[in-house]
Amino acid sequence: MQHPHPHPAVRLDRVSKRYAGAAADAYAVDGITLDIAQGEFFSLLGPSGCGKTTLLRMTGGFADPTAGSVLLDGEDVTGLPPDKRNVNTVFQSYALFDHLSLADNVAFGLKRKGIARAEIRRRVADMLDLVQLGHLPDRKPPTLSGGQRQRVALARALVNRPQVLLLDEPLAALDLKLRRQMQVELKQIQREVGITFVFVTHDQDEALTMSDRLAVMNEGRVEQCGTPEDVYERPTSGFVASFMGTSNLVAGTYRAGEVVPDEGGPALPVGPRSDVADGSRVSLSIRPEKIWLSDFEPGMAKLSGIVRETVYSGPTTTYFIELAPGVTVSVLEQNTIRSRMEDRWSGGEEVEIGWKPEHCLVLDRPAARLPGTDRRNTS
């Protein structure tokens, strides 16, 4: 029987980073604690400037924390440089040697370690096969496509058998179709080698597709950490709800199973909530795909509104429906339901929408930011 590993692959213990000369409260990373399990594909997700790359750099030893500790497999490595940590990093630029063959690029780190030539040849061949480039060992990087160069950079990092592989937006330079293909391939490679991957991205779809767990970051802090389903279906803040895909957020007051919008108009049914006191200032969140425009089921809340805009996106159409002045919700519908253009609304029509109250989230209203408390961050 295999016993679970006694330590997480990565432990970040109250890690902060403040840059010299910045104001006392200007943190790029602000007191983050995270455990990343052995063999996990973990993503750091957030907008530009949220601190995710700074956190990755501190994990790899490229930046020192102002406070807190970085542990790899239970060992405190906070003061160690990158070459003394059992990690490798794949950067967005790939940083390949154009004058070397693919095989020599992949072998570069092994040669510096003084590993025997026969062992190097075997490991390089195995790694090029893993990334589907075993038939091109003598090619040079300038002759490759973007996706192939990305694979070479990955092979060069993995051949060293790091305990943790850090990836700083490695797919960002690829076109959309290739990027989606590489997302699937990268996850397959991670499962095959079993190494812990820590992946930085600002792309929500990418994080949802690839991650075992992810941390959503904002202004140097972790807003929420969990599985992709947890974070998407059960966001704990208005920021996470709006950042992870699209969500209808309506500010209002909770009263007896309904949210009364600040802007006026009809009360929006959300069902009884034992954890929300009557009169609480809240934000209602409901995903566009959770709202129905036809074939209503028993027990659904129903409201009337006016179609104000229609956006056709191939497989789906999004309708923007005004329930009252200042209260508009978006509704996403598969085009299998109204497949012909003449069956879809174009604007101005009165329609009925419905949702299941249990699909609504009732979130705390964010506190107003006090003057002078904006943080200065780097991504």
> Quick one: three-class SS letters along 274-317?
CCCCCCCEEEEEECHHHCECCCCCCCCEEEEEEEEEEEECCCEE
Considering the domain architecture, whether residues 223 and 253 belong to the same structural domain is answered as no
Q: Looking at residue 341, what is its pLDDT? A: 67
Name the residue range of residue 285's domain. 246-364
Considering the domain architecture, whether residues 267 and 167 belong to the same structural domain is answered as no
Considering the domain architecture, whether residues 189 and 303 belong to the same structural domain is answered as no
Q: Looking at residue 373, what is its pLDDT? A: 30
Tokens of 229: 């389903």
Q: Looking at residue 234, what is its pLDDT? A: 93
Considering the domain architecture, whether residues 174 and 25 belong to the same structural domain is answered as yes
Domain presence at residue 53: yes
- Round to whole Å and give the CA distance between 218 and 238: 12
Nearest CA among 161, 158, 163 for reference residue 106: 158
Q: Looking at residue 4, what is its pLDDT? A: 58
Domain boundary among 209, 233, 257: 233
Nearest CA among 99, 195, 105, 88 for reference residue 152: 105
Q: Looking at residue 345, what is its pLDDT? A: 84
CATH code, domain with 77: 3.40.50.300
Tokens of 120: 């190097």
Considering the domain architecture, whether residues 83 and 152 belong to the same structural domain is answered as yes
Domain boundary among 233, 267, 301: 233
Q: Looking at residue 179, what is its pLDDT? A: 86
pTM for the structure as a whole: 0.85
Instruction: Confirm if 305 and 320 have CB atoms less than 8 A apart.
Output: no
Domain presence at residue 144: yes
Amino acid at 181: Q
Mean pLDDT by 10 residues, the chain (379 residues): 70 91 72 95 94 94 94 94 90 82 88 85 89 87 86 87 90 84 88 93 93 95 96 92 91 93 91 91 94 88 93 92 93 81 80 93 64 35
Q: Looking at residue 24, what is its pLDDT? A: 55
Considering the domain architecture, whether residues 59 and 197 belong to the same structural domain is answered as yes
Q: Which long-range contacts link 59-63 to residues 24+ away (Cβ below 8 Å)? A: 59/10, 59/12, 59/87, 59/164, 59/166, 59/198, 60/85, 60/87, 60/89, 60/166, 61/85, 61/87, 62/89, 63/17
- Cα–Cα–Cα angle for 57, 60, 62, rounded to 5 degrees: 55
Instruction: Confirm if 315 and 279 have CB atoms less than 8 A apart.
Output: no
The beta-strand segments (E) located in the chain are: 10-18, 27-36, 41-45, 67-72, 75-76, 87-90, 164-168, 196-201, 213-218, 221-226, 248-255, 258-261, 268-269, 281-286, 301-312, 316-324, 327-334, 350-355, 361-364
What is the SS3 assignment for 187?
A: helix
Domain presence at residue 261: yes
Amino acid at 245: G
Burial of residue 20 (number of CB atoms within 10 Å: 0-12, 13-18, 19+) = exposed
Crossing angle for the helix pair 102-112 and 146-158, to the nearest 10 degrees? 20
Instruction: Confirm if 178 and 146 have CB atoms less than 8 A apart.
Output: yes
Beta bridge partners of 305: 351
Domain presence at residue 276: yes
Considering the domain architecture, whether residues 119 and 229 belong to the same structural domain is answered as yes
Domain boundary among 193, 208, 233: 233
CATH code, domain with 335: 2.40.50.100
Considering the domain architecture, whether residues 191 and 281 belong to the same structural domain is answered as no
Burial of residue 52 (number of CB atoms within 10 Å: 0-12, 13-18, 19+) = buried
The overall longest dimension of the chain from CA atoms, in Å, is 75
Task: Say which residues have a Cβ less than 8 Å from residue 22's Cβ, sequence separation at least 6.
Answer: 376
Considering the domain architecture, whether residues 201 and 254 belong to the same structural domain is answered as no
- State how many domains the chain has: 2
How do strand 350-355 and strand 361-364 relate by DSSP bridges? unpaired
Instruction: Confirm if 17 and 28 have CB atoms less than 8 A apart.
Output: yes
Q: Looking at residue 241, what is its pLDDT? A: 92
Q: Give Rg (Cα) of the chain.
A: 25
Domain presence at residue 369: no
Considering the domain architecture, whether residues 187 and 266 belong to the same structural domain is answered as no
Considering the domain architecture, whether residues 123 and 271 belong to the same structural domain is answered as no
Domain presence at residue 177: yes
Considering the domain architecture, whether residues 122 and 35 belong to the same structural domain is answered as yes
Domain presence at residue 333: yes
- Round to whole Å and give the CA distance between 89 and 168: 8
Domain presence at residue 52: yes
- Round to whole Å and give the CA distance between 2 and 4: 7
